[in-house]
Amino acid sequence: MRQRPTDEPGAGGAVDGGGSTELRRVLAKFDGLTVASDLAGPQRRGTGDRAAAEDRPAAVSSAMPAAAGSGGEDDPAARARGICLRLLTGSAKTRRQLAEALAKREIPEEVASEVLDRLEEVGLIDDAAFAESWVEVRQRDRGLSRRALARELRSRGVEREVVEEAVAQVEPEAEEAAARALVERKLAATCGLDRTVRTRRLVGMLARRGYGEGLAFRVVRAALEADGTEA
């Protein structure tokens, strides 16, 4: 996975694995952006994704004054760069999310488009990587179905083709296993209730996570039978 969305736990930043060193390299490629010299100072020691995730927000934050000052406060492009980098400090964002943020701050559309194009070019925006990581995290941590995952990605502006490719990584067997796990966690809370009520509540819970009626009833029926509930 190349980037991890931070709407959910386990997120880092928008750039992969090299910590602040990698981020400095990427930002240095950004037109008009002068990275502050103090970013070359001592770095946090450590290995793995956790250390890299801890370094990235600090590096982006340190670069903010340089980014904002590259064209003056009245320069729309400089403002757009600063806005985007601040938003990317703690979490990956889709292109549309950043475009909407720039529009709210009255950045001219042509300026916003140019800045966003540059961010994509240097790898700070990557909707495909965002979608891939979003699916992994949300399916693992929330047990969401492919349908729900696709809906969430589309609402964040990810193109349909990219969404379809990302959700395809969830195998039908994994989706059903996630549904079973959700039901098992909720089963005890329905003990003592009528079977019909239990079924309705458990199926409803799966439906809210995007599972189809057929799969939901099949999983719930099997769970209730295993629980000893009479037909």
Per-residue pLDDT tens over the stretch 171-200: 999 999 999 999 999 998 898 889 999 999
Using a pLDDT cut of 70, give the percent of the chain over it: 67
CB 189 within 8 A of CB 158: no
Rounded CA separation 212/147 (Å): 9
Q: Which amino acid is at 32?
A: G
Q: Residues 164-171: contacts with CB within 8 Å, 24+ apart?
A: 165/128, 165/131, 166/128, 166/131, 166/132, 166/134, 166/135, 167/135, 169/132, 169/135, 169/136, 170/135, 170/139, 170/146
Q: Which residue has the higher pLDDT, 76 or 4?
A: 76
pLDDT given for residue 149 in this prediction? 96
Find where tokens 């057929």 sit. 214
Rounded CA separation 222/207 (Å): 17
Instruction: Name the 3-class secondary structure at 75.
Output: coil
pLDDT greater than 70 at residue 112: yes
Query: What number is the average pLDDT over the span 12-21?
Result: 40
pLDDT greater than 60 at residue 57: no
pLDDT given for residue 27 in this prediction? 55
> Would you list the domain boundaries of the chain?
19-124, 128-167, 175-226
Weakest mean pLDDT among 24-33, 55-64, 219-228: 55-64
Give the pTM: 0.67
pLDDT greater than 80 at residue 75: yes
Rounded CA separation 106/23 (Å): 28
Average pLDDT across the chain, whole number: 77
Q: Which of 36, 31, 44, 78 is nearest to 60 (CA)?
A: 36
